[in-house]
Amino acid sequence: MTRQGAIPIQYTNVTSLRVGAMDFGSDDTALNSFRRNVQRVPANKILLHDGEHNCKVIVVIEGWLATSKSSLNGEVQLIDFMLPGDIADPTSADGKTAGLNIEAVTGALVSVIPLAVWHRMLAESPRLARANEQVQAAERARLSERMLRLGRGSAESRIAYALIELCMRLRPLGLSDNCAFHLPLTQRHIGDFTGLTAVHVCRTLRRFVRNGLVETADHMDIRITNLATLSEIAGVEPERLAAEITPLPE
């Protein structure tokens, strides 16, 4: 597979990088390994295909990535969105191939680290190992919440949960203010994320707007105007959810 647009660059102007909720500054040896492996990736670029040979870990520095699985007939289930500070180790149990697709939703900066180098970094940096544990635990919690709603939830509960989850995840990144945030997503993205058609997503969002639960503008600018009611529909307690699905500073 060609990788046009994935251009290695020297990330010399950055004096710190974030993994999970932890910042790694110039006094941390892990920073140099991150900087040596940075790539700039354009929007809609596929970084990795399901089943492709893979021996690398991807750390998001800026932008949004998405992980997904595709069926043989072309149906797509979007598994998760990767935001700044998130880590993807897509290697399957055979230790050789990727178990999912990874695509850039927006233009992004990522650090693509060979798996052997990553394992050495974890062994040499207890802080990085702890940050990695937090990121993986938060991801497991998110997947459990979404699996529950995909298997048992209504369309309204799935979309309500997705909006609240993304709001809670964007907040510690400074990208959600008073329940207002921008989603660089299409309704197809949200449909693939929630197991619904784009038409169903559109109808449900309109219903939320009519009922005064959310406001939308300019291609997915979102403001949750009634978090209490939206949380009842989603079946979550927002602050408890935030503590479970986002790595928190120690």
pLDDT of residue 10: 43
**Residue 11's domain is classified under what CATH number?**
2.60.120.10
* pLDDT attached to residue 12: 45
221-224 β-sheet, strand order? 176-177, 180-182, 221-224, 214-217
Q: Which domain does 210 fall in, by range?
A: 153-245
Domain boundary among 68, 103, 134: 134
Task: Examine residue 25 and state whether it is found in any structural domain, yes or no.
Answer: yes
The answer to whether position 141 is within a domain reads no
Whether residues 109 and 35 fall in one domain: yes
Measured CA distances, 177 to 15, 31, 94 (Å): 26, 29, 43
Q: What's the confidence (pLDDT) of residue 26? A: 61
| Sign of the four-CA dihedral 180, 87, 145, 79 | positive
Whether residue 62 is contained in a domain is answered as yes
Q: Would you state the pLDDT for residue 144?
A: 95
Per the listing, tokens 């619904």 go with 196
Same domain, 92 and 166: no
Residues 50 and 120 in one domain: yes
Q: What is the pLDDT of residue 24?
A: 78
**How many Å apart are CA 11 and CA 39, to the nearest integer?**
9
Q: Based on the domain organization, do 125 and 228 belong to the same domain?
A: no
Number of domains comprising the chain: 2
The alpha-carbon radius of gyration of the chain (Å, integer) is: 18
Q: Is residue 148 situated within a structural domain?
A: no
Query: Is residue 115 located within the same domain as residue 205?
Result: no
Residues 82, 130, single domain; the answer is yes
pTM: 0.89
CB contact at 8 A, 102 and 48: yes
Query: Within this chain, do residues 124 and 225 fall inside the same structural domain, yes or no?
Result: no
Asked, for residue 142, whether it belongs to a domain, the answer is no
Specify whether 121 is located in the same domain as 159: no
pLDDT tens for the chain, residues 1 to 250: 333 444 444 444 556 677 887 877 766 677 777 888 888 999 999 999 988 988 899 999 999 999 999 888 878 889 999 999 999 988 889 888 998 999 999 999 999 999 899 999 899 888 889 999 999 999 999 999 999 999 989 999 999 999 999 999 999 999 999 999 999 999 999 999 999 999 999 999 999 999 999 999 987 899 999 999 999 999 999 999 999 999 877 6
Indicate whether 164 belongs to any domain: yes
Residue 143 domain-assigned (yes or no):
no
Q: Is residue 2 part of a domain?
A: no
CATH of the domain at 176: 1.10.10.10
13 with 130, same domain?
yes
Taking the C-alpha atoms of residue 78 and residue 66, their distance in angstroms, rounded to an integer, is: 7
